Amino acid sequence: MISYTKRPSTWQRARLAWSLAVLTAVPTAALAQQDTTAAPIELEPITVTATRTLQQVFHTANPVFVIDTAGIRRQTPNTAADLFRRLPGLDISGVGPNQTRPIIRGQRGQRILLLENGLRLNNARRQVEFGELPALVDVNQIDRVEVVRGPLSVLYGTDAIGGAINLIKRTYPSAASEGLHGQVAFLASGRDDQVRPNGMLAWRGGKVGVQASATYRKAQPYTAPSGTFGAITLPTETTVFDTGLEDESYRLGVGVDLSDRHAVYGEASYYQARDAGFGRIDEALLGPGSPFIQILYPDQQVSRFTLGYDGKGLNWGIADRLGIKAYYGRNQRDLDINVFIPFGPGAGLATTQKNFTDVKTAGARLEIMKVIGGRHLLTYGLDFFQDHSDNTDVRTLTFIGGGPPPSVDSTPSVPNATYRSAGAFVQGEFHIGNRFTTVLGVRGQEVRAKTRETPHLTAPPEESVDRTVVGSANMLFSLTSELNLIGAVGRGFRAPNITELFFSGFTPEGQAFQQPNPDLQAETSVNVDVGFKWRRRNLYVEAFLYQNTIRNGIRIAATGDTAAGGFPVLQNVNVEQLRFRGVEIMAQVGLGAGFWIEGNYAHQSSEDVNDPINPVGDTYSDKIVGEVSYRRPAGRFMLAYRVRHNGEQKEDFPTVSAVGPVLPSFTVHTIYGSLRLPNLGGTRNTLSLTVRNLTNKLYAEPANARGLFRPDPGRNVIVTWTTAF
């Protein structure tokens, strides 16, 4: 239930944030047992990502979304990215249960930093427009998802130029969860014949806690409904190939509370996915002469190990709280790209590329907090990470219907390389009087990318070094106890990664050749946010205007040259300015008797300032979401209906998209609900039902309509049974 509470004094807020911060390292296992029939969105959600201290979103001087455990379970997502379609300023790219990735305010891929419990998941060997997969973290074990719109480079360094997403999990059960607890769930969905069992066990005995979880999933390629979307018409229900997969996830966490002030913990996780692809439909449906393009990951294995120490209430001269985390991970993946470009009847060029990439990542983070003068909070620290990348490639070119014999090339597209980053940061949260709070921060960072000796490559080693200083200033003024005015200015940065600097080979769609550019400079940005947060009893409203200007923005551009076979040559280049602007508004109200209404609106636009006719954005221009829900006051039953409308995208991409020069608008309807059954034998049982795309509409998310057309599934019924004890 939404409840209104009187705003505490500045000292009380500082003390509350500090006392709550002790919980960030050891969230309780009891969160897994929360009732999934809770209210649609909390008006008093807690965030830690934006400031590194736990505090209410209402009192945070950042645009932040928080989705708690109950909110995650209600949405029955495949990955955390599926939670973002309904939120203003957020979008997704990719399809299927594995390959969806987030977009924040029109920026995606390596411009979004993905975190797990505050530690980075991004690696420097991903394609810049794709970024890391939220699917690497089992969505069934996530307690809270926090999304900060706008740069967070001061706290987290490179890549957080457009925003950050923190997937927060419990590592081990707290002292409040003495004994053995567990949960078993089973999900089944009809459109892709998916089955997904998962289980969790948590045990707490004295000072020691242990938690283990496992999830298995198998899904077939889903089908899209018949219909028309722009220039594309699907006459019948159509299979979207390469959207199925088989994957599994395992995790073990152990923690020891050495005393009420000191704790140590460790975690090991493993994820494997087989036959996960980008998705495609039969090329004949896209028109005569359309190429066949298949992008598939036959196998991907990701392991990660984390060790940490957390000290609180230390009362040292330099620290009241100190946290140290070290991690090591390995990401091994096979990538197959198969392309056929027709030249005419019975003739064309077939290319096959098989890539194996092995990225070993090691990193550490030291974070110290100190209360100053009883009301101000200083956070400072150091962080470091290194990606060690090795890869091999085998490419085969075959001319069909005549021409030279097939050729095989084992030259790697990207040389073996090391990508190293080190940074230092300091941030202060200062309370001036009882109404004004400002958060000021600065970071210095060096990022160094260096190639190594690589089989089949004779070029000498190359090195790229970027050194950057960034800062931010966030301000919150409490005009009344119900209304906070917010202003934020932040400078972000993103160093070019290994792929951007050193890739040499055919582009994924096989229609151009890309050459390296080791002289790329780091992107830097200046982001401005102005907005307010207003709450009154059972009503909450927030609105933000923003502008993010990226200097030295990295884009792919034609060089004017041609490669062998007449293919155009492309290269990553720095452009002077990319500008992203928008407005985000959201509101929710409790009507009483268990009824709730919420809605949001977002508009965004983007441009290359010096080349405005060359479109930048690949997301919606306007999005409106509305939802009405009923929650039985006793908490046993809830039912909700949601409608989302994405407006027409007016930017032209006629040479890229089979959809046509303008992406059409679409409207999607969803209903979902849950029923908590009577307890049986000491267990709590919940049945959940979701129906997505209720009207069976053919549509594609904006980022999936350009380039490779990948429509979303048709009407899909998802049933979940959960048993907790």
DSSP letters, 509-549, are TSSSEEE--TTPPPEEEEEEEEEEEEEETTEEEEEEEEEEE
Q: How many domains does the chain have?
A: 1
C-alpha span between 534 and 690 (Å, rounded): 31
Instruction: Taking residues 710-718, report their average pLDDT.
Output: 98
C-alpha span between 78 and 196 (Å, rounded): 10
Please determine, for residue 531, whether its predicted confidence score (pLDDT) is greater than 90.
Answer: yes
Q: What is the pLDDT of residues 451-473, one digit of tens each?
A: 999 999 998 999 999 999 999 99
Q: What is the pLDDT of residues 209-263, one digit of tens each?
A: 999 999 999 999 999 999 999 999 999 999 999 999 999 999 999 999 999 999 9
More confident residue, 289 or 541: 541
Instruction: Taking residues 87-98, report their average pLDDT.
Output: 94
C-alpha span between 389 and 499 (Å, rounded): 10
**Residue 163's closest CA among 78, 106, 87?**
106
**Residue 37's closest CA among 79, 1, 86, 78?**
1
Q: Checking DSSP bridges between strand 112-116 and strand 163-169, what pairing results, if any?
A: parallel
Task: Give the domain range for residue 295.
Answer: 10-724
Residue 49 pLDDT: 63
Residues sharing a CB contact under 8 Å with residue 434, sequence separation 6 or more, in sequence order:
9, 10, 478
- Residue 618 contacts residue 708 (beta carbons within 8 Å): no
Q: What is the pLDDT of residues 293-329, one digit of tens each?
A: 999 999 999 999 999 999 999 999 999 999 999 999 9
Phi first, then psi: what are they for 479, rounded to 5°? -65, -40
Q: Output the average pLDDT for the chain.
A: 89
pLDDT band, very low/low/confident/very high, at 19 (cuts 50, 70, 90): very low
Q: What is the pLDDT of residues 251-270, one digit of tens each?
A: 999 999 999 999 999 999 99
Q: Tell me if 621 is assigned to some domain.
A: yes
Supply the CATH number for residue 365's domain: 2.40.170.20
Q: What is the pLDDT of residues 543-599, one digit of tens each?
A: 999 999 999 999 888 998 988 777 899 999 999 899 999 999 999 999 999 999 999
Instruction: Taking residues 110-137, report their average pLDDT.
Output: 91
Is the backbone of residue 322 left (phi > 0), alpha (psi -120 to 50) or beta?
beta
Q: Tell me if 448 is assigned to some domain.
A: yes
**Residue 94's closest CA among 131, 120, 147, 136?**
131
Q: Checking DSSP bridges between strand 483-494 and strand 232-234, what pairing results, if any?
A: unpaired
Please determine, for residue 44, whether its predicted confidence score (pLDDT) is greater than 90.
Answer: no
671-689: b (≥16 Cβ within 10 Å) or e: ebbbbbeeeeeeebbbebe
More confident residue, 630 or 2: 630
Q: What is the pLDDT of residues 643-701, one digit of tens each?
A: 999 999 875 554 557 888 888 999 999 999 999 999 888 899 999 999 999 999 999 99
Q: Checking DSSP bridges between strand 163-169 and strand 142-149, what pairing results, if any?
A: antiparallel
Residue 523 pLDDT: 94
Please determine, for residue 52, whether its predicted confidence score (pLDDT) is greater than 80.
Answer: no
- Residue 271 contacts residue 247 (beta carbons within 8 Å): yes
Residue 37 pLDDT: 37
Q: Tell me if 506 is assigned to some domain.
A: yes
Q: Tell me if 374 is assigned to some domain.
A: yes
**Residue 59's closest CA among 86, 20, 25?**
20
Q: How far is CA 398 from CA 273, 290, 353, 690, in A?
A: 30, 18, 12, 47
Amino acid identity for residue 254 in this structure: V
**Residue 78's closest CA among 724, 725, 712, 723?**
712
Q: Tell me if 219 is assigned to some domain.
A: yes
Q: What is the pLDDT of residues 379-430, one digit of tens each?
A: 999 999 999 999 999 999 999 988 889 999 999 999 999 999 999 999 999 9
Q: Checking DSSP bridges between strand 227-229 and strand 637-646, what pairing results, if any?
A: unpaired
C-alpha span between 169 and 28 (Å, rounded): 10
Residue 215 pLDDT: 98
Q: Checking DSSP bridges between strand 637-646 and strand 568-592, what pairing results, if any?
A: unpaired
**pTM to 2 decimal places:** 0.91
Residues sharing a CB contact under 8 Å with residue 315, sequence separation 6 or more, in sequence order:
none
Q: What is the pLDDT of residues 682-696, one digit of tens each?
A: 899 999 999 999 999
Q: Tell me if 151 is assigned to some domain.
A: yes
What percentage of the chain carries pLDDT values higher than 90? 76
Residue 53 pLDDT: 67
pLDDT band, very low/low/confident/very high, at 45 (cuts 50, 70, 90): low
Q: Tell me if 137 is assigned to some domain.
A: yes
Partners of residue 240 on adjacent β-strands: none
Q: Tell me if 238 is assigned to some domain.
A: yes
Residue 36 pLDDT: 38
